[in-house]
Chains A and B, each alone.
Chain A
């Protein structure tokens, strides 16, 4: 197991450098000069342009800018946003808990609903339930997030008044947020109704963000289950007269979990991509909206710093998935 971990960690290193290079190059390859964009119609004189370039460090050769950037990373410094003038790392950690809280809720919903739905669909293959479920999953997978979110808001918030339209908690509550996770902070704040308010604000965005991963997990679980259900050892289990719940729930599901876990791991990337739209619509103060704004403003430091942090998180999740894999399937860690 240890050598497996070490091998996996070693692949981390080139990936990490690759990400720094790609994130550094990506924003600079986009057409658009940040100084000209900042000046807009008012324009900027040549002299002033040079002065600003020097002040923001854009006049340095690219390789030097990249080396400085790398040197900064190893000192825990991702640079400073040239728009807000605040350190990128501070901004990231101020916003990331919101994205994480939303993503965790979404993935929990997707797993809790997706796996049972997939199992049931596989067991009742070809029946009405299976067909309905798989059609729904296809619709969920193809649904434009923007439209889906607005539809939910119009029905449940404006129409029925069951859920708030947007935000993380009612504006009436105002307290310290030491952890950045509103569910935890609202409990710590101990104000009447704060926790419920936080929960009610999470409902719609979590459903929206969970929609695509839920569809993927349900479909993946179904096909993995179908494959396992046709195996000889399943027939043996049935022949032994084991109760169906034990056959499907323990023997089949456990063996079907490997591809499902892979899909769950991969959907972390999907979640972060979906978070951009979901956060914008629900005014959720997370990193998705922050990154998009920064790309439009060509805020180099934020884009490269933010991308690096996100990529690192995705890499850690993938590593965790690989380790889990090894735990479930001993063949992998030995291979």
Chain B
């Protein structure tokens, strides 16, 4: 571990006071260890919390607590008429953090932005392979196909030339992989022959600067005094890595930490009645669904799919599988995402009518497979149990369901097959808060044989989402997506099952904390009552 005189002085003083936790230090009991500190190299939320969410900024950012995009280090941007050129104007006053290992000599400029993206885009770039990076998210969001070139217009202006119009591009620029790195710091590391340190000792422009990390134990940060939005109200931020949820809860109770993520559902009642704790909650940015294979008889008939949907008792699933930490889903979009169409009416739970509809469609003695995932996910904490409940529901309407499962990687691969037998339980957690990230990725024609597990390509729906993808006007996009959700409901390629509810217990003295709809943990703006 390195020596950091400021912190040592501070900690010795705090220890002398004999307090468990200083009033100016916020302790977050995180659930795991970050894989590294360069967010572009990884895809896990744990790593993003420790890096992008608190240490870095992006050109565009999500407004705290919402999925709306707001200016980040770019104060404004223009989109060309054809939607293929995005020109970002950078703020002039953005300072990088000054640490024991790096002293910046200039504020953020276009070189930093270009460095950030070129290292991911260009395989010849000296930092492309520096940390054995695979740039997963950059690739998963199709950036290499989308970005034709990035140019420096002047010191404070950067232009992205795209290969096609793509409205979600702005939301993509607010994602973790787009966190702006310091070119000056990278140059210093390259000169020292230690480029991998970019992933181990981060330097960003964000509200907290990295102080030290003791593997699997603790990460320390302190407020970045020159943060362009103003220094954070707390002086120090500590991540106390605590993998077990019950122990995290005990630590919050004992005052050893202020905020914890991912409580055990079984502890929620106790937390609710605990005076020292404020139990916050919000719907997660996810959806759990059962995807029929719409290319295989009799599931190619929307009436059959709708009938099966009406046979599923979602409330029972919420009670048993989610133990209350979920809410029934009626749309393929979660309610926290913009353009969510609340006027859509869900198919009622009505086994009798469902049975009638199946008979009307000429379906009798139907037997089918229901696939249950072998892993726990936020959108489905116990797929096996969920499949059993669905199996019982289907039996009520005379449909015999057999539950099948495979190892996770195998499950994901096999469920992609266009001639797949049976209906698949799966789900999705949003990446960038853009409706396109759900509707096109999971239900678009291009995704058939891939992430479109319903193998559903429906022209009226496809036209709507394609038009929305190339329209930059937000109101118009909202209208198109709302209509797409109506079409989806009529056609019923999935049974939309549930959105999880995210719970976050925080201690009473914590103020102004907001749950991030993306599942991140952002501590800028949080205060501690004395």
* CB of B317, distance to nearest CB on chain A (Å): 20
**Inside 8 A of A171's CB, which chain B residues have their CB?**
21, 25, 27, 218, 238, 240, 256
* CB of B165, distance to nearest CB on chain A (Å): 22
A42 near B140: Cβ-Cβ < 8 Å: yes
A43 at the binding interface (Cβ < 8 Å)? yes
**Inside 8 A of A157's CB, which chain B residues have their CB?**
250, 254
Q: Which one of B134, B136, B413 has the greatest number of beta carbons of chain A within 10 Å?
A: B134
**Inside 8 A of A172's CB, which chain B residues have their CB?**
11, 14-15, 19-22
Residue of B nearest to A185 (CB): B1
B271 at the binding interface (Cβ < 8 Å)? no
Interface bits B201-226 vs A (CB < 8 Å: 1, else 0): 00000000000101111101000000
B398 at the binding interface (Cβ < 8 Å)? no
B11 near A41: Cβ-Cβ < 8 Å: no
**Inside 8 A of B12's CB, which chain A residues have their CB?**
191-192
Complex alpha-carbon distance, A117 and B1, angstroms: 41
Complex alpha-carbon distance, A293 and B35, angstroms: 11
A174 near B212: Cβ-Cβ < 8 Å: yes
**Inside 8 A of B14's CB, which chain A residues have their CB?**
172
B241 near A32: Cβ-Cβ < 8 Å: no
Q: Count of A-B contacts with CB under 8 A?
A: 151
Q: Which one of B15, B36, B238, B416 has the greatest number of beta carbons of chain A within 10 Å?
A: B15
| Cβ contact of A175, chosen from B3, B246, B450, cutoff 8 A | B3
Q: State the interface size on chain B (CB cutoff 8 A).
A: 66
A84 at the binding interface (Cβ < 8 Å)? yes
| Cβ contact of B8, chosen from A55, A84, A175, A290, cutoff 8 A | A175
* CB of A148, distance to nearest CB on chain B (Å): 13
Contacts A41-B428, A43-B412 given; indicate if A85 touches B16 (C-beta within 8 A): no
B244 near A41: Cβ-Cβ < 8 Å: no
A283 near B217: Cβ-Cβ < 8 Å: yes
Residue of A nearest to B411 (CB): A36
**Inside 8 A of A176's CB, which chain B residues have their CB?**
1-3
Interface bits B400-415 vs A (CB < 8 Å: 1, else 0): 0000000111101100
A80 at the binding interface (Cβ < 8 Å)? yes
* CB of B484, distance to nearest CB on chain A (Å): 21
Give the segment of A3-11, A130-138, A162-170, A263-271 that binds chain B: A162-170
A15 at the binding interface (Cβ < 8 Å)? no
Residue of A nearest to B218 (CB): A171
* CB of B218, distance to nearest CB on chain A (Å): 6
Residue of A nearest to B379 (CB): A41
Q: State the interface size on chain A (CB cutoff 8 A).
A: 56
**Inside 8 A of B131's CB, which chain A residues have their CB?**
85
Contacts A172-B15, A174-B7, A285-B241 given; indicate if A165 touches B1 (C-beta within 8 A): no
B139 near A48: Cβ-Cβ < 8 Å: yes
Contacts A175-B3, A175-B8 given; indicate if A41 touches B216 (C-beta within 8 A): no
B36 near A84: Cβ-Cβ < 8 Å: yes
Complex alpha-carbon distance, A191 and B14, angstroms: 11
A40 at the binding interface (Cβ < 8 Å)? yes
CB within 8 Å of B: which of A82-136?
82-86, 91, 94-95, 98
A37 near B247: Cβ-Cβ < 8 Å: no
A61 at the binding interface (Cβ < 8 Å)? no
Complex alpha-carbon distance, A74 and B172, angstroms: 45
**Inside 8 A of B11's CB, which chain A residues have their CB?**
172-174, 191
Residue of B nearest to A80 (CB): B132
**Inside 8 A of A43's CB, which chain B residues have their CB?**
412, 416, 450-451
Interface bits A18-42 vs B (CB < 8 Å: 1, else 0): 0000000000000111001111111
Interface bits B5-47 vs A (CB < 8 Å: 1, else 0): 0011001101110011110010100001101100001010000
| Cβ contact of B247, chosen from A39, A95, A281, cutoff 8 A | A281
A320 at the binding interface (Cβ < 8 Å)? no
**Inside 8 A of A191's CB, which chain B residues have their CB?**
8, 11-12, 15
B133 near A280: Cβ-Cβ < 8 Å: no
| Cβ contact of A36, chosen from B251, B409, B450, cutoff 8 A | B409
Interface bits A173-209 vs B (CB < 8 Å: 1, else 0): 1111100000000000001111000000000000000
Pick 9 A–B contacts, CB within 8 A, sort by A.
A32-B407, A38-B136, A41-B427, A80-B132, A95-B216, A157-B250, A167-B217, A283-B217, A293-B33
Which A residues fall within an 8 A CB radius of B?
31-33, 36-43, 48, 52, 55, 80, 82-86, 91, 94-95, 98, 150, 153-154, 157-158, 161, 164-168, 170-177, 191-194, 280-283, 285-286, 289-290, 293
Known pairs A43-B451, A165-B250, A166-B251 / 12 extra A-B pairs, C-beta < 8 Å: A38-B136, A39-B136, A42-B140, A43-B450, A85-B132, A172-B21, A172-B22, A173-B15, A176-B3, A192-B16, A283-B242, A285-B241
